[in-house]
């Protein structure tokens, strides 16, 4: 989703509390899927697990029916980056599985994604484990920038810094991870996709000012090879051009008067952000 200079929806503290209810349903659904994902399961199995949690919570899946999207989750495997449609595909040892979930409660949205690298005999490929770990690190650095920065552009800068750091560390066989540019993070609230765009790369335009009431989904997508993408015949699944593997991580984050809170994390992001020197600001 891409937006120009449209109006940003700033939330009241009460509205943010309602978004947290939706965010925690998403967190719960992803926790359940994380427990179930394993070689031998199908991607449709994972979709059923998430659907049951969302329904059990009295919430509504936000992806189902979105521009005709046919499922509760997006499950993107290996060279699939995002928007993989769950189906009969059987997961294999060593697969890199990105799982994206969204839910609505009382009209308010939460959106989050994780990547799981499945175990394999002799262990998963260390390159895949590093890809997933660096992408998660990039997510948290981007989230921390919402607390320490001044503008949306600080998120992309933080993501790029993590990617540069990984290169300096010699990860990915000395190749810089590709940062996907066609898909970006977004404002979120009374709809899943709202302005502003939240790019995962440095931009000349530094973007909207970070201020209380702004809620955004930060969602870096990194790939081991070229950042270039294509969309499959199903009109949804986004894959890397070169077949290299991809990871996608996402959280929904609120900016408040006194700091940030990660709405799709049980602890509001406290643990991961403390490691980055950021203290989260409880909502109540």
Find the binder of Co ion among 45, 47, 79, 111 (CB under 5 A).
111
Long-range contacts of 190-195 (CB under 8 A, 24+ apart): 190/9, 190/107, 190/108, 190/109, 191/109, 192/62, 192/66, 192/102, 192/109, 192/111, 193/1, 194/3, 194/8, 194/9, 195/3, 195/4, 195/5, 195/6, 195/7, 195/8
Window 213-232: residues binding ligand MF3 (CB under 6 A): 217, 219
> Shortest distance, CB of residue 188 to Co ion, whole angstroms?
7
Among 19, 25, 49, 74, binds ligand MF3 (CB under 6 A): 74
Contact flags string 37-66 toward ligand MF3, x per CB under 6 A:
--------------------------x--x
Residues in the chain: 284
Distances (CA, A) of 30 to 37, 51, 223, 265: 10, 10, 22, 10
Question: At closest approach, how far in Å is the CB of 111 from Co ion?
Answer: 4
Binding mask 110-129 for ligand MF3 (x = CB under 6 A): -x------------------
Per CB under 5 A, 114 contacts Co ion:
no
Q: Which is nearer to ligand MF3, 83 or 272 (CB)?
A: 83
Q: Which residues contribute to the site for ligand MF3 (CB under 6 A)?
A: 63, 66-67, 69, 74, 83, 100, 102, 111, 217, 219, 250
């Amino acid at each position: 989703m891409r937006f120009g200079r449209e109006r940003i929806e700033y939330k009241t503290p009460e509205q943010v509390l309602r978004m947290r209810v939706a965010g925690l349903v998403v967190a719960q659904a992803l926790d359940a899927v994380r427990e179930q994902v394993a070689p031998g399961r199908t991607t449709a199995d994972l979709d059923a697990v998430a659907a049951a949690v969302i329904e059990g919570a009295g919430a509504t899946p936000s992806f189902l029916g979105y521009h005709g999207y046919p499922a509760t989750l997006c499950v993107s495997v290996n060279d699939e980056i995002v928007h993989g449609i769950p189906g009969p595909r059987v997961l294999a040892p060593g697969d890199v599985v990105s799982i994206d979930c969204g839910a609505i409660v009382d009209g308010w949205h939460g959106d989050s994604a994780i990547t799981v690298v499945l175990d394999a005999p002799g262990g998963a490929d260390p390159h895949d484990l590093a890809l997933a770990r660096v992408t998660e690190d990039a997510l948290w650095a981007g989230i921390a920038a919402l607390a320490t920065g001044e503008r949306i552009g600080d998120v992309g800068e933080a993501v790029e810094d993590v990617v540069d750091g990984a290169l300096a560390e010699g990860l990915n066989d000395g190749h810089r991870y590709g940062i996907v540019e066609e898909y970006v993070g977004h404002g979120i609230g009374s709809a899943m996709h709202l302005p502003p765009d939240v790019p995962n790369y440095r931009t000349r335009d530094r973007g909207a000012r970070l201020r209380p009431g702004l809620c955004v989904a930060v969602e870096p997508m990194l790939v081991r090879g070229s950042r270039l993408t294509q969309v499959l015949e199903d009109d949804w699944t986004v894959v890397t051009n070169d077949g290299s593997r991809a990871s996608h991580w996402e959280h929904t984050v609120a900016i408040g008067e006194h700091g940030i809170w990660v709405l799709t994390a049980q602890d509001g992001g406290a643990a991961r952000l403390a490691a980055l020197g950021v203290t989260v600001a409880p909502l109540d």
